Amino acid sequence: MGIDLRRVLSGNTSFSSVYFKLKSNQAFMMLLIAIGLFLIGGIINVRFLSLTNIGSILGLAALLGFAAAGQTLVVAVGGGIDISAGSMMSLGAIIAVQVMNIRNLLILPSLVYILITGAIIGLINAGGIIRAKVPPLVMTLAMASVITSIQLLYSGGTPEGKPAPIITFIGTARLLPMLPYLVIVAIITVILMQFLLNRTVFGRHFFATGNNVNAAFLSGVRVHRIKTLVYMFSGMLAGTAGFWFAAYNTFINVNIANHFVLPSVAAVIIGGTPFSGGKGAYTGSIVGAIVLTLVESILIMLKMEEAGRKIFYGIILIGLLAAYNREPPIRQ
């Protein structure tokens, strides 16, 4: 019924075709919801709309966006998920502060360490998922506890050190009141990710694999290699997200970024990447991250405690899922 209506109307006028395109574009709808949430926040408290507050919300959303980058890849390649992203992010943050330890010269080495660690973790994940056929959920959940032990061993329980001054500056200072440097880093990341997904051979093969693994394999795409690369990218991006989290937070603990897992998956799903994979874009996940951060900060503004925030968070997530991710009735 819905499809028929869409066909008829899109044939008739250009206006309705644009309208339906936008309505079926989940990321765009989420952008509208985000603007609506900003306005709701402004109605509750006018200071919510001040430039500084918008800047801090965008900064927080940028952090969540970094965490969602690898998750977008893993979900879009079809049926995957990376629960170990949160622990990997914490490990990245710990490596960052311990290696840099207030020395500007060691920024690049620390990043290289993080990328290598993330790639190795991703490779092990991919090995378990592709070769031993452990479900991604289980493999990455088990990996998360392994990474926690690695964090404890590497830091001896209490990580010491601080990020380099330049990195702390990027993580905390602002170019304009509503434009923290972190947001600029996030914009650069978005451009790089869009380039990777839409303008490279890897990106073509990536979406082909997500759409239909067998068809992609028969067309000569090395499916296993693409999936392995995706999990390695996920590990590396999670590690880099930890790097920027260390820049933002400066004080780092074991498993400090673990609470990012649930929101990162949520951001990807409400950003329009279906769980079956095959389509999706990082820009959608960024919009999802903005929506989630807005919801969270409105709840904090209403002085809701952690228990209440968790309950609302879950209800909102189910509501958004019910609006966009319903499976077709079994009759069809």
Partner 1 sequence: MIDVRRRILTSPGLPGYSLLLIAVIFNIPIQGLSFFSLWNFGSIMANTTPLIMVAIAQTVIILSGGVDLSCGATMAFVNVTAIALTNSYNWPIPAAWAVALAAGIAVGLMNGAVIAFIRLPPFLVTFASMSIVSGLALWVWPIPGGTVPRALYGPYNGFFLVLPTTVWLVVLAVLIWYFLSRFPMGTYMRAVGGGERYAYASGIRTERVKLFAYAVGGFYTGIAGLCLTALTASGDPLIGLPFTLKSIAAVILGGTLFDVGWGSIGGSIAGSLFLSLVANIVFFAFNNLVNLFPGLQISTYYQELVSNVIIILGLSSAVITQKFGTKTRLQKKREAG
Residues that bind partner 1 (CB under 8 A): 81, 128, 131-135, 137-139, 141-146, 148-150, 152-153, 156-157, 262, 265-266, 269, 275, 305-315, 317-318, 321-322, 325-331
Residue with tokens 């801090």: 56
Give dist(CA 105, CA 165) in Å, integer: 10
Q: Which is nearer to partner 1, 156 or 177 (CB)?
A: 156
Chain centroid to CA 173: 23
Give dist(CA 48, CA 43) in Å, integer: 8
Q: Which is nearer to partner 1, 59 or 280 (CB)?
A: 280
- Under DSSP, the state recorded for 175 is E
Q: Which is nearer to partner 1, 132 or 201 (CB)?
A: 132
Least gap, CB of 210 to partner 1 (angstroms): 16
Least gap, CB of 271 to partner 1 (angstroms): 14
Give dist(CA 137, CA 142) in Å, integer: 9
Least gap, CB of 232 to partner 1 (angstroms): 18
Q: Which is nearer to partner 1, 221 or 266 (CB)?
A: 266
User: Cβ neighbours of residue 66 under 8 Å, at least 6 residues apart?
Assistant: 186, 189, 237, 240, 241, 244, 245
Least gap, CB of 138 to partner 1 (angstroms): 5
Least gap, CB of 137 to partner 1 (angstroms): 7
Residue with tokens 């960024």: 286
Residue 161 contacts residue 220 (beta carbons within 8 Å)? no
Q: Which is nearer to partner 1, 23 or 310 (CB)?
A: 310
Give dist(CA 220, CA 52) in Å, integer: 51
Residue 297 contacts residue 41 (beta carbons within 8 Å)? yes
Q: Which is nearer to partner 1, 43 or 318 (CB)?
A: 318
Give dist(CA 249, CA 91) in Å, integer: 14
Give dist(CA 13, CA 272) in Å, integer: 26
Least gap, CB of 106 to partner 1 (angstroms): 25
Least gap, CB of 239 to partner 1 (angstroms): 19
Q: Which is nearer to partner 1, 2 or 329 (CB)?
A: 329
Residue 176's H or E segment, with its range, is: strand 174-176
Residue 81 contacts residue 136 (beta carbons within 8 Å)? yes
